[in-house]
Amino acid sequence: MFSLSTLRRTIPSLLSTTSTTLTPPHVLVQSSNIQQRHRSNRSRRGLYDGKDIRFGNNVPFSMKKTRRRWNPNVQFKTLYSEVLDESIKFHVTTAALRTIDKFGGLDNYLLGSPNVSTKGEGEGQKIRNRIIQKLKHREQLKKQAIARGESTEEFDNKIILVGKKIKSDEVNE
At 34 the pLDDT is: 61
The whole-model pTM stands at 0.64
Mean pLDDT over all residues of the chain? 75
Say yes or no to pLDDT of 9 above 80. no
CA angle 44, 47, 52 (to 5 degrees): 60
123-148 helix and 153-160 helix, angle to the nearest 10 degrees: 160
Task: Tell me what pLDDT residue 113 has.
Answer: 87
Q: Are 66 and 58 in contact (CB under 8 A)?
A: yes
63/42 Cα distance (integer angstroms) = 32
d(CA 3, CA 65): 37
Q: Is 119 helix (H, G, I), strand (E, B) or coil?
A: coil
For the cut 90, the answer to whether the pLDDT of residue 89 exceeds it is yes
Question: For the segment 34-74, what is each residue's pLDDT rounded down to a tens digit?
Answer: 666 666 767 667 888 888 889 999 999 999 999 999 999 99
Tell me the percentage of the chain whose pLDDT exceeds 70. 63
The pLDDT > 90 percentage for the chain reads 38
In this predicted model, what pLDDT tens digit does every residue of 130-161 receive, in sequence order? Answer: 999 999 998 888 888 888 887 777 666 554 44
Contacts of residue 109, Cβ cutoff 8 Å, sequence gap at least 6: 47, 96, 99, 100, 103, 116
**Which of residues 56 and 21 earns the better pLDDT score?**
56
Mean pLDDT, range 76-93, rounded to an integer:
93
Please state, in angstroms and rounded to a whole number, the distance separating the CA atoms of residues 137 and 148: 17
